[in-house]
Structure 1
């Protein structure tokens, strides 16, 4: 039996595929290295927003955002289009469930989704994959996990975020008191979502968070924080709650925060990659 010889063309095609694959791997690694170096010096990703086709909210829903979210009104028209795209995408990727006869409306989804998009707008990865389900009660509810009445909580094992709708709205209706349930609980989601992740936004977030914790170890700064009473006492429960409370203040009264605690303000700004008007 005569053995068939391997076609030279086939060999050339295989070699070409291997070379292309190798070049692609080198290119990806090089871009990753460049971006990490860039983020080291500038504390932000090379890029944050890139979309093939932008999804757009209805005029009615755009009006809702302008009425309810000061953050959205501070964005440029181009940034607002990015915000809308992210909001539609976020809502489509999450399940919303009402409890105790609470009705999930489009307004409920917009309110919740816009909060998440607002906090992750400076991050490239915004879908918060550690979160799958959002459960809403009309009022405070009994937590089967902690066996106490709750206004809100995040369960990372069930990938579920739970809110009392009454208290959710209070956080947005009362401005500049630096207490916002939605922002607080979503920050817990973001903290879990960035833990041990290697994407550039997670790396920047984690690095800035470590630097923030180091600042807190300085006795003079810690005493200044406590004595100022600008942050409520709950902030000093643990480092997780500390960050969530700081971000509440960062969002609701950024100028006061910046004026009184510029070191902490700078780290929160780096963590969220906020380079927008008002921040």
Structure 2
């Protein structure tokens, strides 16, 4: 009898440990299968968005709604990754709401959907203002900017929203600033690893300089005058038109459009 009691006492901790392991395994299986969402980001593990965030994408982000079901799952995972890897900082507003975070992350994902998931990881913080703001650095009012030294992307929320409400005029603040960030990050990576410009990049620069001269001469019918400021602004304006007016862009500047589609590794005309 004493021996039996000892056996039962010894087996209780083992049973508890076994039940704990089974419970953890079951919960992990549910997370990985998409049945539940714990609201956390696990590096290297695709965790689905919670329903509220999916609803925001469905209601406010046409790029997402046009994807296949498989592409949507990938897009959702990238949005989640962006949200959990960035620090969203409110400026002159109480907070950066969940809707703001989801749509900003979706904008970045839209631009970089053809790139590896860690693209734009160089930038750590997203500053959000309610509208245009005064920069103490440039001494001017801005709608957005990218600062590689501070690793920040700054956005005016009003102008960000307007960019997606009017999605066929070639003006989108979110895409414009994310394009600056992408171009800067690619350049930083090339410098760090000693990589040279690819033939595709050289072709882009050549085509861009030719078009910039036409803009400055008032002979460009596609891009607004601001694109002629320099090569950086030209790239960002081109990205805006690439996503918002791809048909017109391709018809008027087929070589430039084709090159940009290859650089961004996606084509809105052939999704």
| TM-score when normalising by structure 2 | 0.76
The answer as to 2:222 corresponding to 1:227 is no
- What SS does structure 2 have at the residue aligned with 1:197? helix
- Larger relative contact order (CA 8 Å, sep ≥ 6): 1
Q: Which residue of 2 aligns with 1:155?
A: 147
1:89-120 deviations in Å (ceiling 9; x for gaps): 11100000101134211001001101001101
Partners of 1:184 and 1:245 within 8 A in 2: yes
Partners of 2:146 and 2:154 within 8 A in 1: yes
The answer as to 2:156 corresponding to 1:167 is no
- Structure 1 or 2, whichever has the larger Rg, is 2
Q: Which residue of 2 aligns with 1:141?
A: 133
Describe how 1:91-110 pairs up with structure 2 within 5 A: 91-110=83-102
The answer as to 2:194 corresponding to 1:194 is no
Q: Which residue of 1 aligns with 2:261?
A: 269
Root-mean-square deviation over aligned CA pairs: 2.6
Distance 2:96 2:183 in 1: 26
Distance 1:152 1:207 in 2: 31
Partners of 1:142 and 1:150 within 8 A in 2: yes
Distance 1:127 1:96 in 2: 17
The answer as to 2:114 corresponding to 1:122 is yes
Structure 1's 131 and 224: CA in aligned 2 closer, same or farther, altered over 3 A?
closer
Q: Which residue of 1 aligns with 2:46?
A: 54
- What SS does structure 2 have at the residue aligned with 1:176? coil
Structure 1's 68 and 209: CA in aligned 2 closer, same or farther, altered over 3 A?
farther
Kindly tell me the number of residue pairs found equivalent between the two proteins. 225
- What SS does structure 2 have at the residue aligned with 1:227? coil
The answer as to 2:267 corresponding to 1:243 is no
Distance 1:205 1:115 in 2: 26
Q: Which residue of 2 aligns with 1:79?
A: 71
Partners of 2:130 and 2:158 within 8 A in 1: yes
Alignment gaps of 5+ in structure 2: 1-42
1:143-176 deviations in Å (ceiling 9; x for gaps): 0110111111111111111111111111111121
Partners of 1:212 and 1:264 within 8 A in 2: yes
Partners of 1:255 and 1:278 within 8 A in 2: no
Distance 1:204 1:128 in 2: 20
The answer as to 2:177 corresponding to 1:185 is yes
How much has 1:196 moved relative to structure 2? 4.5
